[in-house]
Structure 1
Amino acid sequence: MKVDLKRQITTYTAPRGAFEVVTVPPMRYLMIDGHGDPNEAGEYEDALTTLYPVAYALKFLSKQELDRDYVVPPLEALWWADDMAAFTTARDKSRWSWTVLSLVPDWVEDAHVERARVTVARKGAAPRLDALRVETLDEGRCVQTLHVGPYDAEGPVLEQMHDEFIPAQGLRRSGTHHEIYLSDPRRAAPERLRTILRQPVVDL
């Protein structure tokens, strides 16, 4: 059977219109770092053009050699700026830094990732392959919500999360803002995009 990891891992669901505190287990990801407006920076497009082929090569390797098929997980990204107002209020995307992510199943080993990397390299169409790495992200306790709508409408939701809900729970932000893109923006209208917004937290 084909495994859908986002249906098995409970933190890949979140309530719409409300915030919840969850504990996210450590997970391994394919990662590529970058900086700049994702709509204009060629670096971001190059990162995705590299991440997806490796993710799919890994899926096919797992199916053919490990007899374990799975749905390629949704794209994810970490986002930050030196002044987070550039992210929540001003939405000055030129000041954003990011790490794009693709979840790696726990039965897939680093050696399999390297073989997938070699497969993609042979095709010569992955411009940031040298920047790709595998790393475990251990976020622990987080606050998250499901945002439905355009990405540029996230600002007020994040302000409410950061400035109202998190302090009211006796918590403070710790770690990097995380987004999980449950919708494909090439196929869904902006008002129907579904994105999990996640923020790691610790006690005050």
Structure 2
Amino acid sequence: MKHDWKKSEKQFYAPKGEPEKISIPAMNFFSIRGEGNPNSPEFGEYISVLYALSYGVKMSPRQGLAPDGYFEYSIYPLEGVWDLKEEARAKSMEILDKDALVFNLMIRQPEFVTPEFAAEVIERVAKKKPHPLFSNVNFETITEGNCVQMLHTGSFDDEPASFARMEAYAEANGLNRKSKIHREIYLKDARKTAPEKLKTILRFTVVDH
């Protein structure tokens, strides 16, 4: 049976439009770091590289290269961990300077993808579709641990209101936001979806008071 994260991992990918606490276990990702405005043409290149690798894993059986334990699955959604450049973090900004953003974009990979197989996929896909960004790709295991998350519906520019609700929830439940770094999981393609219909999971890590 095909593994569909939308159905079998709802706790991670189908939160409600209200803040909730959740513990996120270790997960494996292809990831790539960068900085700058996500509305720039260059930003799309980072995304294209990650999807090329993710499809390289998914389609490996067609090339007779499937790893041990391979199973049919749906490709996981694009995610981004966002921060600000150090000099921008020191300033108080009423309007976010998107040129000062720092990001780590990633797409989760199934458990059967080992570091060795990931390296093989990067090498194989880079030969087939050469791009300088392939040399910047990492395969990493990330454990987020305790987090507050919620589903944000609407424009990315309206996210501060959702973060304010999440921070209020954390405070009311004896939790402190660990840092201003946060994660976004994109359930809709921003290139094909009207801003008011975008669905994005917002998440930040927390610690007890």
One fold, TM greater than 0.5? yes
1:201 matched to which residue of 2? 206
Q: Give the C-alpha shift of residue 85 in structure 1.
A: 7.8
Query: Partner amino acid for 1:32?
Result: I
1:114 to 116, 119, 135: 119
2:82 matched to which residue of 1? 79
Change (3 A) 1:84 1:73: farther
Gaps of 5+ in 1: none
For the 8 Å contact 2:19–2:165, the answer to whether it is kept is no
- Output the CA distance in 2 between the equivalents of 1:62 and 1:150: 38
2:178 to 151, 174, 178: 174
Q: Secondary structure at the match of 1:25?
A: strand
Q: Give the C-alpha shift of residue 86 in structure 1.
A: 7.0
Greater mean alpha carbon deviation, residues 93-102 or residues 116-125:
116-125
Query: Partner amino acid for 1:77?
Result: G
Query: Partner amino acid for 1:98?
Result: F
Q: Using structure 2 for the length normalisation, give the TM-score.
A: 0.87
For the 8 Å contact 1:120–1:126, the answer to whether it is kept is no
Give CA-to-partner distance per residue, 1:116-175, whole Å, 9 cap, x none. Answer: 11221112343311110111111111000001111111122113323x222222111125
2:99 matched to which residue of 1? 94
Gaps of 5+ in 2: none
1:4 matched to which residue of 2? 4
2:38 matched to which residue of 1? 38
Q: Give the C-alpha shift of residue 99 in structure 1.
A: 0.3
Q: Secondary structure at the match of 1:138?
A: strand
- Output the CA distance in 1 between the equivalents of 2:200 and 2:126: 31
Change (3 A) 1:86 1:24: farther
For the 8 Å contact 1:30–1:132, the answer to whether it is kept is yes
1:70 matched to which residue of 2? 73
Query: Partner amino acid for 2:12?
Result: T
Q: Map of 1:51-66 to 2, 5 A cutoff?
A: 51-61=50-60, 65-66=66-67
Structure 1 runs of 4+ aligned residues shifted over 4 Å read 84-87
For the 8 Å contact 2:79–2:107, the answer to whether it is kept is yes
Give CA-to-partner distance per residue, 1:24-63, whole Å, 9 cap, x none. Answer: 1111111100111111262x22211211101110111267
- Output the CA distance in 1 between the equivalents of 2:131 and 2:5: 25
Change (3 A) 1:86 1:6: farther
For the 8 Å contact 1:25–1:140, the answer to whether it is kept is yes
Q: Give the C-alpha shift of residue 109 in structure 1.
A: 1.2
Q: Secondary structure at the match of 2:47?
A: helix
Q: Secondary structure at the match of 1:106?
A: coil
Pairwise CA RMSD: 2.1
Identity %: 32
Change (3 A) 1:27 1:85: farther
- Output the CA distance in 2 between the equivalents of 1:106 and 1:160: 33
